Amino acid sequence: MGGWVGEIHYRHEEKLRRLQLIGINQKWLATYSDDIEEDYPILENSKYPYLINGGKQKKLSKKLKNIQCLE
């Protein structure tokens, strides 16, 4: 019941690839991010994606199904 903490900050598709290398595969129940552009692949592969304090990014969030924007 915890999050994944990596040593290096990976972005976008590379984040998915690195998670797969350590045995963490998609589709996830829930994911969250504060940067939809950077974490789009993670959010896209989740049943319940959350955008936290997304501000200006809310326009981009309309492309994702079921995304909830929280402040």
Q: What is the pLDDT along the chain (71 residues), one digit of tens a residue?
A: 566 666 777 888 998 898 899 898 888 999 999 888 889 999 999 999 999 987 777 777 777 878 888 88
Q: Structure pTM?
A: 0.74
CB of 19 within 8 A of CB of 27? no
- Size of the chain, expressed as the number of residues it contains: 71
Give strand pairing partners of 32: 50
Per domain, the residue ranges of the chain are 12-70
Residue 30 CA to residue 60 CA, distance in Å, equals 19
